Amino acid sequence: MRFGQFISEVCYSLMISISLHKIYRLLCCAVLGLTLANLAAQVARYFLILDRRSAIYRLLNVNNEANIPTWYSTIALLVCVLLLALIATLKQQQNDRFTNHWRGLALLFLLLSLDEAASLHEKLNPFMRSLLNVDDNLLFLWVIPGSIFAGAIALFYWKFLMSLPSQMRNLILFSAALYLSGAIGLELLTGFAVLNISGLHQLLLALVVAIEELLEMLGILLFIRALLLYIGSQFPAVRIHFSQKD
């Protein structure tokens, strides 16, 4: 028996059971743990226990890049991508008219995960300053095209949203509200505070940033819950298996 055939038969005989709700609870614990760890790091920095250049502070600070919170958020968004791709595949088998909408959402969340990992949205700030011919001190100008893009997605997906069960629709809308209030709303508030409030307490600013990131993480977490509930209600007999074409 060839090795490849042996591996194929082993794969066919495997039965792997994964509790998606356990994954959801694990993500809940991760969000809570990261939030508390960030607050502890901010308090330690304020009382000069930690230096802002120390490795532990940079790893836990939610306002930094390439650290543990960024890694978590990227993974959470990729979980959304996998769940959306699964739903799109199942909808295709049913010849559902909204199959491409599910695919579009999977692509959108893949782009969000890339943006989270590489902070691509911040690269729009210099372009927007040049386009609007405004002061270089203005921060977070990326929220202008970001808000326009979010509005366009909402309009394009409105009929799709209205076709969903009410529980699923409400969870998606609430998760989007949480995510956008952090990603855009508090982002603007933070930029305004930095520019207009002299002597702003650093611990207060860190708290605002922590709330901003928490809202984003909670928004994604709630969206994952909505997808899991939808899969459980619409496809209760789903089985994941290996297949081999002739």
Judge whether residue 135 has pLDDT over 60: yes
pLDDT on residue 140: 75
Mean residue pLDDT across the chain: 83
Q: Is the pLDDT of residue 189 over 80?
A: no
Give the domain ranges of the chain: 20-234
**For range 163-177, the mean pLDDT:** 95
Going by pLDDT thresholds of 50, 70 and 90, the confidence category of residue 3 is: very low
Model confidence at 245: pLDDT above 60: no
Give the confidence band of 138 by pLDDT, cuts at 50, 70, 90. Answer: low
Higher pLDDT, 219 or 186: 219
Distance CA 183, CA 125 (A): 15
pLDDT class for 136, splitting at 50, 70, 90? low
* pLDDT above 70: residue 134: no
| Cα–Cα nearest to 242, from 7, 2, 3 | 7
Q: What is the pTM of this model?
A: 0.84
Q: What is the pLDDT of residues 57-114, one digit of tens each?
A: 999 999 888 899 999 999 999 999 999 999 999 999 999 999 999 999 999 999 999 9
Q: What percent of the chain has pLDDT over 70?
A: 82
4 pLDDT more than 50: no
